[in-house]
Amino acid sequence: MSPHSPHRYRPDELAALRARYQRERDRRIRPEGTGQYRRAAGEFGYYATDPYTERTEREPVHDRVEALVIGGGFGGLLTGARLRQAGVRDIRMLDEAGDFGGTWYWNRYPGIHCDIESTVYMPLLEEVGYVPQWRYAPGEEIRRHAMAIAKQFDLYADALFHTRATELRWNDDTAEWTVTTDRGDRFRARYVMVSSGTLTQPKLPGIPGIETFRGHTFHTSRWDYGYTGGDQDGGLHKLAGKRVGVVGTGATGIQVIPHVARDAEHLYVFQRTPSSVDVRDNRPIDPAWAATLKPGWQRERMDNFLTIVTGGHADQDLIDDGWTATARLQRQMLTGTLDPTISAEERDHLDELADFRKMDQIRARVDEIVTDPATAELLKPWYRYMCKRPTFSDLYLQTFNRPDVTLVDTADTGGITALTETAVVVGQQRYEVDCVIFATGFEVGISGVVSGTLPVHGRDGLPLLDHWRNGPRSLHGFSSHGFPNLFHLGALQNAASVNFVHVLQEQATHIAAVIAEAARRGARRIEPTAEAEQRWVDTIRETAPDTFTFQADCTPGYYNGEGRPRPVNNSFGPGPVVFHELLRDWRENGGIDEVLHAG
């Protein structure tokens, strides 16, 4: 179906689609909500241990640094880099992993690629002097780039790895934070930046018998190459002769499954909800094209992508891929420019129509690729496009044409029913396997200050979560009254985008600029007034998009709290482009004066 000759839905077709989406959602909803999962901790802690870097013993550290950055993923790295550029010398980076890279440190499964174009996803390319090799970069290239940033900005020198911050406590007399860690460290820091990510802790389905399985098992974010052989490019030769089950068909499962299928004797794919799988079209970046790039090229591409995917207008689409095409289609439908003859009745539902058309294309693609009609039917997603993370692959659907791959649909049983010593059970059916790989995703927001795993005590010992007892309170998402010199990176009361690294880069730039200005003016404390904080809380309340109805109608997943969305959305409604402009204006036109304090 071409977007240029859009299908005109009859009212009965629209009603049928809406009813089908509702039915599929109801079939999938589970009363336990997020309670259906198990943490990869305690007796299941082995699912989360670091298979890549050996943990070495070291003496506890007792000293002082100017800036502590918690998190060595792109948020932390960008903060470290921007602080260096702003002239801050004394920077300590902290991470629970054994090296830099964040999600790209942990996720090294075969087939791993970033589904956002590398020229806009991989940050600081011009600063590091690197042009990616692939349009959609493999994970290892991204991880190495993260390490290159750390080297370039001298962030290894004072880094502490395999170390988790356990408490932050503010001392008003010295205007410093005291930081303690699980390695017995206790040190002081003028500034603390927290960028500990939101999808970090692997989760497992809470299925009966999971602990009794005698075969091999691991989570995709801790891939066991010792067992499978091969590497991120595949070649999992040790799976020869093995029957393997992969549980989960989200963005990770889609990338892993074609590689396991190639090398296992038989692969069972346990699917609960099919993903939308669009064209990938990955290809090497042409060095001749790269040679034409002028300084500022990455900024231009990043801004162009962000504008288009957040619904803005750009004269030219520099990236022109699945993300921007869908966003452009939706925007064109919304303004009616694609089809000026569209009826008044349709006009009321333009957004929904664009969505239906997109998902019809996605479902038609399944029929084009998958030869067995029954299997094709099971692989079709019946929900709105952004209910789940869209995925892209030119290998995944093709995998189901292999005779050694079986798709097991688990929607009616709410997922796999049980594990026995030797088998995965779905309803009454047993599937004997040698290995079970969980591509079952991550707990949302489990790390960091929001979940309480990192207690923060501000002025007069006030716990941050007490200050936030009626909901988060901050100025621009970065800092709170009573918690000086502490900055949060992340989406809370800030901006969001599918290219989250772009948002993180703006956050890092902002934080470093504020700290540099504090140094210039000799301010010891950076802290919003109670009034400024309240104004921002009000702004968020007034502008936050009302996504509740959309989310409540969506098929369950981590986007909507497994079918129970939060009533309040905590992001800045006008979107990241406007927000970044607002921050620049705030820095340049006096807003900053309100947060800089001498004593």
Among 270, 356, 487, 536, binds ligand NDP (CB under 6 A): 270
Contact track, ligand NDP, 541-560, x by CB under 6 A: ----------------xx--
Contacts of 46 by beta carbon, 8 Å cutoff, 6+ apart = none
| Other Cβ atoms within 10 Å of 520 Cβ, number | 11
502-511 burial, b at 16+ Cβ within 10 Å, e below that, comes to: bbbbbbbbbb
Name the strands in the sheet holding 216-219, side by side, starting at the edge strand that comes first in the sequence: 216-219, 435-438, 243-247, 266-271, 405-409
CB 267 within 8 A of CB 260: yes
Contact track, ligand NDP, 182-221, x by CB under 6 A: -----------------x-----x-x--------------
| Other Cβ atoms within 10 Å of 389 Cβ, number | 17
Interaction of residue 248 with ligand NDP, rule CB under 6 A: yes
Among 67, 168, 247, 264, binds ligand NDP (CB under 6 A): 247
Q: Which is nearer to ligand NDP, 163 or 276 (CB)?
A: 276
Tokens at 513, concatenated: 């600029």
Binding window for ligand NDP (CB under 6 A); candidates: 440-448, 482-490, 521-529, 532-540: 440-448
Interaction of residue 440 with ligand NDP, rule CB under 6 A: yes
Binding window for ligand NDP (CB under 6 A); candidates: 51-59, 244-252, 305-313, 446-454: 244-252
| CA-based radius of gyration for the chain | 25
Q: Which is nearer to ligand NDP, 86 or 244 (CB)?
A: 244
Q: In DSSP terms, which residues pair with 430 in a beta bridge? A: 425
Instruction: Annotate 504-558 with DSSP letters as a single string.
Output: HHHHHHHHHHHHHHHHHHT--EE---HHHHHHHHHHHHHHS---HHHHHHSPPSG
Among 18, 84, 186, 389, binds ligand NDP (CB under 6 A): 389
Interaction of residue 441 with ligand NDP, rule CB under 6 A: yes
**Burial of 591 from C-beta contacts in 10 A (0-12 / 13-18 / 19+):** middle
Interaction of residue 131 with ligand NDP, rule CB under 6 A: no
Report which secondary-structure segment, H or E, holds 149. helix 139-152
> CB of 199: closest distance to ligand NDP in angstroms?
6
Q: Which is nearer to ligand NDP, 376 or 416 (CB)?
A: 416
Tokens at 38, concatenated: 């198990």
Quickly count helices (H) and strands (E) in the chain: 20, 22
Instruction: Annotate 430-482 with DSSP letters as a single string.
Output: EEE-SEEEE---EEET-SSTTTTSS-EE-GGG-BHHHHTTTS---BTTTB-TT
Q: Which is nearer to ligand NDP, 194 or 419 (CB)?
A: 419
CB 69 within 8 A of CB 76: yes
> CB of 498: closest distance to ligand NDP in angstroms?
8
> CB of 449: closest distance to ligand NDP in angstroms?
21
Among 273, 494, 497, 499, binds ligand NDP (CB under 6 A): 273
Interaction of residue 447 with ligand NDP, rule CB under 6 A: no
Q: Which is nearer to ligand NDP, 416 or 464 (CB)?
A: 416
Q: Which is nearer to ligand NDP, 433 or 511 (CB)?
A: 433
Q: In the range 101-130, which residues lie near ligand NDP by CB under 6 A?
A: 113-116
Q: Which is nearer to ligand NDP, 153 or 383 (CB)?
A: 383
> CB of 252: closest distance to ligand NDP in angstroms?
3
Binding interface with ligand NDP (CB under 6 A): 28, 113-116, 199, 205, 207, 247-253, 270, 272-273, 389, 410, 415-416, 439-442, 557-558
